[in-house]
């Protein structure tokens, strides 16, 4: 049997299952793009899109995870109505090889009913529809006690422009424990590379970026993708002084970044809460620093008017 036994701590089992399920969701996302029928609908506004890939990936993740962990609360980005049809979308993680993830002692006895899983089945939907496929990620974030404690970021299109190389990669981490799936790299010294949104900019977003005097700004899609840039040493800090990001965008990236030694808070330095009744929206923005960077120094440089503009 490849799924870890019941004596393995819940967080380890859940994370291992989430890795297999995220990989399966990635296959669904690629399959829908291959067929080309994206079924795009607008959600809150013209830049806030949902495709059949978002819906099908969410069906797969939510139904598969809830079958394995029926007492956990799972909150997915896409509305339940659009994702009702679950036929053919349950994936059995025991059919995939499982990871043996060591659980840090402070998480060893978390009960299933105290876990909240925040799911972004496809982060970077605008970019997916525009063919910027390497911006797309699948995010599964595990929270307990209101904190992000473990997570998975899967990039279904990693290497898609390098034929012959393995397509896709998946990184995972547990706060206070292991990180796996790719090597962690420090960003270059003597530079300050900021990453931020490419499709949700504003004058406040830009004022926050200018305040840290970057040597380069990478405007790319997706919260998951931007945190990947921090993990692989391609950017020093992710700054987003705007209320548009949601808990499912930040839970998994935050857990992995913190497991790797980095930090993710709101733009004022306040921890983002992930308990079951937390508001979905991260109203006070996002600031994420790579391992080895001074989060405090970035926070101190963000202008007061930017912080005042973002109200909880
Ligand atoms: P971005 O960095 O613009 O790709 O945004 C990261 C995540 O936050 C994506 O899931 C976006 O859909 C979401 N997001 C950011 N700003 C907004 C907004 N103004 N409206 C809706 N979603 C947003
Ligand atoms: Mg998203
Ligand atoms: Mg999404």
The residue with tokens 């990989």 is 23
Q: Which atom of ligand 1 is nearest to the CA of 48?
A: 21
Which pLDDT value is given to residue 85? 64
Ligand 1 atom at minimum distance from 242 CA = 16
| Model pLDDT, residue 82 | 66
Instruction: Name the residues around ion ligand 3, CB cutoff 5 A.
Output: 77, 120, 122-123
| Lowest-confidence pick of 40-44, 139-143, 287-291, 306-310 | 40-44
2 has a pLDDT exceeding 50 = no
Q: Which residue's CA lies nearest to atom 22 of ligand 1?
A: 244
**The overall pTM is greater than 0.95:** yes
Stated as kind and residue range, the H or E segment containing 121 is strand 115-123
Q: Average model confidence (pLDDT) for the chain?
A: 94
Tell me which residue has its CA closest to atom 13 in ligand 1.
245
For residue 127, the ligand 1 atom closest to its alpha carbon is 4
Q: Which ligand is nearest to the CA of 252?
A: 2
Query: What is the H or E stretch that residue 287 is in?
Result: strand 286-289
Residue 80 clears pLDDT 90, i.e. is over it: no
Average pLDDT over residues 41-61: 93
**In this structure, which residues have their CB less than 5 angstroms from ion ligand 2?**
120, 123, 249
How high is the pLDDT of residue 207?
A: 97
| Overall average pLDDT of the 156-183 stretch | 96
179 by Cβ neighbours in 10 Å (0-12 / 13-18 / 19+) ranks as buried
Q: Which residues are catalytic?
A: 54, 125
**Tens of pLDDT along 21-50?**
999 999 999 999 999 999 999 998 888 899
Q: How confident is the model over 80-90, as a mean pLDDT?
A: 69
Q: How far apart are CA 227 and CA 221, in angstroms?
A: 11
> Is the Cβ atom of 223 under 6 angstroms away from ligand 1?
yes
Q: Which ligand has an atom closest to residue 29 CA? A: 3
What residues have CB less than 8 Å from 249, skipping those under 6 apart?
120, 123, 139, 223, 224, 282
Residue of higher predicted confidence among 291 and 97? 291
Q: Which residue would you say has higher pLDDT here, 94 or 290?
A: 290
The one-character DSSP state at 179 is: E
How do residues 243-255 score in pLDDT, each as one tens digit?
999 999 999 999 9
Please compute the mean of the pLDDT values over residues 277-302 and round it to a whole number. Answer: 98
Determine whether the shortest distance from the Cβ of 48 to ligand 1 is under 6 A: yes
From 47, 245, 251, 282, mutation site for ligand 1 pocket: most ligand atoms within 8 A of C-beta: 245
């Amino acid at each position: 049997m490849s799924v870890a036994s019941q004596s393995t701590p819940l967080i380890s089992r859940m994370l291992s299952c989430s890795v297999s399920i995220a990989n399966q969701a990635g296959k669904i996302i690629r399959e829908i793009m291959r067929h080309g029928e994206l079924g795009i609908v607008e959600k809150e506004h013209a830049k806030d899109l949902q495709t059949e890939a978002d819906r099908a990936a969410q069906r797969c993740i939510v139904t598969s995870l809830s079958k394995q962990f029926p007492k956990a609360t799972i909150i997915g980005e896409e509305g339940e109505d659009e994702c009702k049809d679950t036929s053919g979308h349950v994936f059995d993680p025991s059919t995939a090889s499982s990871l043996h993830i060591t659980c840090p002692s402070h998480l060893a006895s978390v009960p299933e009913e105290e876990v909240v899983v925040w799911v972004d089945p496809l982060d970077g939907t605008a970019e997916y529809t525009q063919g910027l496929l390497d911006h797309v990620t699948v995010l599964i974030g595990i929270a307990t006690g209101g904190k992000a404690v473990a997570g998975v970021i899967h990039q279904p299109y990693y290497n898609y422009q390098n034929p012959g190389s393995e397509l896709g990669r998946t990184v995972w981490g547990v706060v206070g424990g292991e990180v796996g799936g790719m090597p962690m790299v420090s960003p270059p010294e003597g530079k300050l590379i900021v990453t931020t949104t490419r499709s949700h900019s504003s004058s406040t977003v830009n004022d926050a970026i200018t305040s840290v005097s970057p040597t380069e700004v990478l405007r790319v899609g997706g919260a998951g993708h931007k945190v990947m840039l921090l993990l692989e040493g391609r950017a020093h800090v992710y700054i987003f002084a705007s209320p548009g990001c949601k808990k499912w965008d930040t839970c998994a990236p935050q857990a992995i970044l913190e497991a790797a030694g980095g930090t993710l808070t709101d733009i004022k330095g306040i921890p983002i809460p992930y308990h079951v009744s937390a508001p979905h929206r991260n109203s006070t923005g996002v600031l994420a620093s790579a391992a080895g960077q001074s989060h405090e120094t970035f926070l101190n440089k963000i202008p007061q008017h930017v912080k005042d503009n973002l109200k909880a």
